[in-house]
């Protein structure tokens, strides 16, 4: 679409969504009132800068359905953000939203070359996570054959991949490498399969990881980006030129801000991505702070698409981690630890990737008293902490109790997380 037309479409859609959000969602009415803003004040695309930001915190406060902009009768599906920080963010979709999602996911899969002739093995988790059903709807829209195998069960994945002659896979980049490793162990030569492309996302990865995936799986590895708050996967996707992810900006309007000053930054500068949904009915998002760090590029892409591109995500402006695809905040682990007696408030979270799977170790300092106690008691406490962390984050972490005063002290901000996965 020519840029002029696209901008006019975005402007009209912005005005409409602002009005809908204001009329239907008490949260927006209040935030507009606080900012002394009326929906009619938003006339041009630049006026978007006057709208207050919204974050995960406000969304959680609306749990479960407080952010919905339509009566419940019109919501046909819900998903929640992964992770278990208190209450999750609940996303509601109307029938039109599912259509929109199918459309953007169809565009995404088409960028990877998918047609009705393809067999898509969809190894993203089905359920409340958006990955599974997002790909599913997009595959249907294209008319491809979707194999809804979901996550896990790696040997079965390989068997199906061989027997069905899967042509396209969708999973996290780390899982694709794990698949490759299990295939090697099982004596399956992945390069002899029919795989031609894969859409990998839901977590951070690098060019180096891409090279490894492409070499080991002998396919074209493309990056797919999205988040529950906005729609799920299908906010942006790479074309085979591999020079950034095209944002489907006729539906999702991007801005980059400085996380410190909250000022909008010029194109090309790195900062935090802020997204506004232009067409979403069930849960419109006006200026959602994603916390994901990237930059926008508007130079024409050789593929011919006029859609703006975002660079690969290289970090977060908060301390959120994605471990095995699940959102984890360090303070959830802290809370689980500090409830225990016999330990000091000194701990360190170490995240590693072993055989392409994320592993978490939490080192916790023992109190002097516990340190001189029987081994049985120490082991009992260690297990208790492991259980409490698992309950808090929904993932198993290995807990090691270390000697008093053995963890590094910091004069400034304590370095609680050591991420050894080398993702940026």
38-77 mask for ligand DLL (x: CB under 6 A)?
A: ----------------------------------------
Contact 59, 290 (CB under 8 A): no
Residue nearest to ligand DLL (CB): 201
Query: With contacts defined by CB under 6 A, how many residues of the chain interact with ligand DLL?
Result: 22
What are the counts of helices (DSSP H) followed by strands (DSSP E) for the chain?
11, 21
354-393 mask for ligand DLL (x: CB under 6 A)?
A: ----------------------------------------
Considering beta carbons, is residue 70 or 235 the nearer one to ligand DLL? 235
Provide CB contacts within 8 A for 338, sequence distance 6+: 345
Query: How far apart are the two ends of the chain, measured CA to CA in Å?
Result: 33
Q: At what angle do helices 207-217 and 173-186 cross, to 10 degrees?
A: 30
Provide CB contacts within 8 A for 162, sequence distance 6+: 188, 193
Q: How far is the CB of 33 from ligand DLL (least distance, A)?
A: 29
**Of the residues 249, 292, 344, 359, which one makes contact with ligand DLL according to CB under 6 A:** 292
Among residue numbers 168 through 207, which ones bind ligand DLL (CB under 6 A)? 201-204
**Of the residues 22, 28, 32, 225, which one makes contact with ligand DLL according to CB under 6 A:** 225
Among residue numbers 82 through 141, which ones bind ligand DLL (CB under 6 A)? 82, 124, 130-131
310 near ligand DLL (CB under 6 A) = no
Ordered DSSP codes for 40-58: GG--SGGGGGGSPPB-HHH
- As given in the structure block, the two tokens for residue 324 are 């095995």
Q: How far is the CB of 225 from ligand DLL (least distance, A)?
A: 4
DSSP, collapsed to helix, strand or coil, labels residue 256 as strand
CA distance 89 to 80: 5
Strands 271-277, 309-310: parallel, antiparallel or unpaired by DSSP?
unpaired
Element (H, E) at 116: none
223 near ligand DLL (CB under 6 A) = yes
**Of the residues 102, 167, 176, 228, which one makes contact with ligand DLL according to CB under 6 A:** 228
Residues contributing to the site for ligand DLL (CB under 6 A): 81-82, 124, 130-131, 201-204, 223-228, 232-233, 290, 292, 313, 322, 327
């Amino acid at each position: 679409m020519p840029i002029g037309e696209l901008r006019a479409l975005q402007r009209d859609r912005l005005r409409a969504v602002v009005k809908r959000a204001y009329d239907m969602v008490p949260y927006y009415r209040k935030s507009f009132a606080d900012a002394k803003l009326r929906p009619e004040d938003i006339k041009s695309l630049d006026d978007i800068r006057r709208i207050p930001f919204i974050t995960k915190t406000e969304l959680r406060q609306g749990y479960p359905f407080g952010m919905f902009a339509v009566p419940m009768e019109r919501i046909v599906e819900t998903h929640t953000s992964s992770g278990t920080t208190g209450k999750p963010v609940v996303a509601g979709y109307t029938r039109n939203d599912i259509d929109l999602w199918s459309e953007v996911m169809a565009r995404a899969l088409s960028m990877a070359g998918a047609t009705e002739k393809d067999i898509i093995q969809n190894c993203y988790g089905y359920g409340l996570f958006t990955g599974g059903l997002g790909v599913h709807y997009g595959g249907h829209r294209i008319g491809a054959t979707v194999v809804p195998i979901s996550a896990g069960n790696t040997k079965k994945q390989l068997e199906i991949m061989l027997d069905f002659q899967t042509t396209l896979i969708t999973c996290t980049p780390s899982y694709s490498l794990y698949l490759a490793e299990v295939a090697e162990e099982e004596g399956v030569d992945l390069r002899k399969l029919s795989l031609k492309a894969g859409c990998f996302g839901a977590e951070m990865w690098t060019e180096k990881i891409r090279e490894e995936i492409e070499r080991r799986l002998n396919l074209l590895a493309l990056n797919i980006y999205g988040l529950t708050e906005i729609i799920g996967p299908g906010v942006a996707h790479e074309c085979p030129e591999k020079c950034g992810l095209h944002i489907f900006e006729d539906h999702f309007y991007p801005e980059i801000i400085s996380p410190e000053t909250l000022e909008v930054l010029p194109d090309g500068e790195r900062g935090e991505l802020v997204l506004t949904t232009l067409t979403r009915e069930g849960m419109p998002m006006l200026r959602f702070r994603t916390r994901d760090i990237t930059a926008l590029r508007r130079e024409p892409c050789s593929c011919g698409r006029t859609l703006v591109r975002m660079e690969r995500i290289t970090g977060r402006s908060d301390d959120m981690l994605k471990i095995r695809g699940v959102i984890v905040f360090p303070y959830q682990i802290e809370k689980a630890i500090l409830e225990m007696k016999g330990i000091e408030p000194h701990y360190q979270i170490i995240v590693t990737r072993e055989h392409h799977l994320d592993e978490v170790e939490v080192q916790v300092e023992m109190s002097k008293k516990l340190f001189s106690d029987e081994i049985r008691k120490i082991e009992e406490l260690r297990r208790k902490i492991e259980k409490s962390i698992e309950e808090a984050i929904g993932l198993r972490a290995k807990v090691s109790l270390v000697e008093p005063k053995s963890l590094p002290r910091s004069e400034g901000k304590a370095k609680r997380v050591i991420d050894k996965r080398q993702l940026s």
